[in-house]
Amino acid sequence: MTSEEFEHIANEVRPRIMGVAMGYIHNKEDLEDVVQEIMLRLWLHHEQIESNIEGLAVQATRNYCISMWRKQRLRETVGIEGLRGVEDDVGADSHLMAADKERQLDAAISKLSRGEQRIIRLIQQDNLEAPEISTITGLKLHSIQTIISSARRKLLNLLTE
């Protein structure tokens, strides 16, 4: 596909991309960012696209929006450390809720592999950081970070079931 053909088709596809993205994104600035990102991705691969650019654009938009939603959801979820703390001035119910969350978290941690449990406990109980855990365990820092990420993802899934 030539650049002129791409420009012509892109002008036709842009409203469709915008419509699909609106189903996922409600912030106008983010919506425009999504459209621009998809258009950029299409442009970068325009020479390889032979047909059905609209279908490709729609699927790419859905995938990108879902990816954004998942990242946002992970940022908004309470981290492992956040489940442990309770503010004193909130009331008696909050202490019961915190104790319940504590039990849920402990039950979820017990479902992790031994290695993941060990690293999560080092983070929780000893307040260690990844480089310190790497030194203690003898594992590479990247491996520790991967294990932490995987364990947190598993915990998130277990706690939201």
- The pLDDT tens digits for 9-34 are 888 889 999 999 888 888 888 888 88
Tell which wins on pLDDT, 92 or 50.
Answer: 50
155 near 149, Cβ under 8 Å? Answer: no
User: Is residue 111 very low, low, confident or very high in pLDDT (cuts 50, 70, 90)?
Assistant: very high
What is the predicted pLDDT for the residue at 86?
44
What pLDDT, on a 0 to 100 scale, did the predictor assign at position 74? 62
Is the pLDDT reported for residue 84 higher than 50? no
Burial tier of 15 (Cβ tally within 10 Å: 0-12, 13-18, 19+)? exposed
CATH topology of domain 3-76: Rna Polymerase Sigma Factor; Chain: A (1.10.1740)
pLDDT of 57 above 50: yes
111 backbone dihedrals φ, ψ, rounded to 5°? -90, -5
Q: What does the alpha-carbon distance between residue 61 and residue 68 come to, in Å, rounded to a whole number?
A: 10
Contact criterion met (CB below 8 Å) for 155 and 105: yes
Residues 135-159, mean pLDDT to the nearest whole number: 86
**Average pLDDT over all residues of the chain:** 79
CATH code for 80-160?
1.10.10.10
Residue 83 has pLDDT above 60, yes or no: no
pTM of the model: 0.45
Q: Is 146 a residue whose pLDDT tops 50?
A: yes
Domain ranges of the chain: 3-76, 80-160
pLDDT at 62 over 60: yes
CB 2 within 8 A of CB 47: no
